Amino acid sequence: MRGNFRDVRPTGSPSLTPTFFIPLVPPRISRVLIGVNLCVFAATFVYGLLVFGVWNGPMDLRVLYRLGMKSNEAILNGETWRLFTAMFLHIGPIHLISNLIGLYWLGPIIEGHYGHLRFAVIYLLGGLLGSIASYAFSPALSAGASGAVFALLGATIIYFYRYRENMGRQGQSMLQSALVILVINLALGFSVSNVDNWGHIGGLVGGAIVAIGLLPRYRQPAVVRLGMQALAREPRILWSLTWTFVCALLLLAAYQAATNAGPPPLR
């Protein structure tokens, strides 16, 4: 759909010409995910203290392993649930804060435009592909929400690239900012040790793939009047369910291919 529109709720006095805007949904799932990550981080403290008698549970590999960090050997032995649980564990407060900043910034953008359920699908499936990419190409133990955050970054790039002509300077600025952040993060990842770059790349690709199929489409209201008017989001429920199912099958195929290929060798 072409024509200019805004991606915010209307403010100010009515316009003398029809102007359309995208009604954004509140970031409820984003806030829940931030809370879940904080609770899991707190749980690593409690578990470390109660089980191992240490105060640095989030930095203790014994604690992180018990609670579900990514371990290729364990996954090969059937503990596939680690691909999911690793997305909510963090190795120390700096690791947690950096990922929560990304979630705090990108979460409302993607959830606001895609809606609650589509946002959750992008976050979870994109994050899982990040875990699978790490499992396939990195032998190191790892954990963190960064794969899922990169999935949101991929979805942001897809959305604002698709509607770059409609949103004018605001949309182009958002697209440029997302691309700059992507380049900076990838450059830092490859220049700093102990960073799961494959998890980041897998999450980015996964989020972009899922987001392409779940891109919202808009239509003008049946009656166009002067001033600000909300665009209607086409439901596309059947298509969204089908695309989600296809992406889930691709995840399973990627996991099976990685398992058949065997773990990458330690360097």
The H-assigned helical ranges of 163-265 are 168-191, 197-214, 237-261
Q: Is 116 a catalytic residue?
A: no
Phi, psi of 21 (to 5 degrees): -135, 160
Q: Is 146 a catalytic residue?
A: yes
Nearest in space to 57 (alpha carbons), one of 74, 70, 69:
69
Catalytic site residue from 71, 146, 173, 193: 146
CB atoms within 10 A of CB 260: 7
Tokens of 76: 């090969």
CA distance 107 to 254: 26
CA distance 211 to 215: 6
Cβ(158)–Cβ(204) below 8 Å: no
Q: H or E segment at 219? A: strand 218-219
Amino acid, res. 99: N
Nearest in space to 151 (alpha carbons), one of 103, 84, 102, 204:
204
Nearest in space to 114 (alpha carbons), one of 221, 20, 30:
30
CA distance 139 to 263: 7
Q: Which residues are catalytic?
A: 146, 200
